Amino acid sequence: MIEQLLPTTAVAREAFDDSVPVTLHPEEEKALGGRAVDKRRREFGTARRCAHEALAELGHVDVPVLSGPRREPCWPDGIVGSITHCDGYRAAAVARVQDLTSIGIDAEPHRPLPDGVLDSIASPAETRLLATLHADHRHVCWDRLLFCAKESVYKAWYPLAQRWLGFEEAHVEIDPATGGFTARLLVEGPLLPDGIRLTGFTGRWLARNGLLVAAISLPAASDATGRAA
């Protein structure tokens, strides 16, 4: 699924269960901690297996993928990437820095958000847009897709900015016709490696097999707006 939303310069691997046994690197095992519950251990292990397989395609074999201060994955030098997991799905996507500046992927179960969550993630303008989408296309849980898209925005943002981005700090619009979305930053973005200031992202989404998946891939050479080309 996820590879359909990413350019060919990215390598993605996914799993829909935890049936394949996983042996973590000692450093990953230490980072996970001995008190991790079985569910956390299984999803962590399978997601790391996806990451290891994707990295191996780029020549990085037997490399541990540890976590940073905000639990973000720490990739080998010269690599960008993202990891996601939810009930029934785990995935990782990576690319070389000469091809992509950042990647953000997220997956969510295709069902409505719990009561009260939408108010904490959506602006009034976004809520109005969701109401229009729901009226015209009832087959998609647009509130959960908004959450999914914003999570992918944060995952693409954090490696570049190295600071928190709140749900209220990016305005997201979803296009049901093209399977795309745009995110306009409402705070100042970081300077990209080419000297252009990041102002937002474009991404793609997919609803399939009871899942919602969103992905952002920011090219190494961005356009004048700082958005992904």
| Count of beta carbons in the 10 Å neighbourhood of residue 223 | 11
Reported as a single tens digit per residue, the pLDDT across 102-151 is 999 999 999 999 999 999 999 999 999 999 999 989 899 999 999 999 99
Show the tokens assigned to 150.
């914003």
- Taking alpha carbons only, the member of 6, 71, 1 closest to residue 204 is 6
202-209 average pLDDT score: 97
pLDDT at 71: 86
- Taking alpha carbons only, the member of 51, 96, 53 closest to residue 78 is 96
How wide is the angle at C-alpha 120 spanned by C-alphas 117 and 122, nearest 5°? 100
Contact 86, 67 (CB under 8 A): no
Q: How confident is the model at residue 66 (pLDDT cuts 50, 70, 90)?
A: very high
- Taking alpha carbons only, the member of 67, 98, 138 closest to residue 220 is 98
Instruction: Locate the domains of the chain by residue range.
Output: 2-105, 108-219
Summary mean pLDDT of the chain:
93
Reported as a single tens digit per residue, the pLDDT across 148-198 is 999 999 999 999 999 999 999 999 999 999 999 999 999 999 999 889 999
pLDDT at 119: 95
Show the tokens assigned to 204.
């793609």
Give strand pairing partners of 74: 66
The least confident of 21-30, 90-99, 199-208 is 21-30
Q: What secondary structure does DSSP assign to 147-169, as a single string?
A: HHHHHHHHHHHHHHH-S---GGG
pLDDT at 227: 47
Total-model pTM: 0.93
Residue 100 above 60 pLDDT? yes
What is the CATH number that goes with domain 2-105?
3.90.470.20
Helices and strands in the chain, H and E counts = 5, 10
Radius of gyration, CA atoms only, the chain? 17
pLDDT at 61: 94
CA dist., res. 25 & res. 183, Å (int): 36
Show the tokens assigned to 20.
């394949």
Show the tokens assigned to 209.
């097999």
Count of CA atoms in the C-beta half-sphere (13 A) of 141: 18
Count of CA atoms in the C-beta half-sphere (13 A) of 184: 7
Residue 223 above 50 pLDDT? no
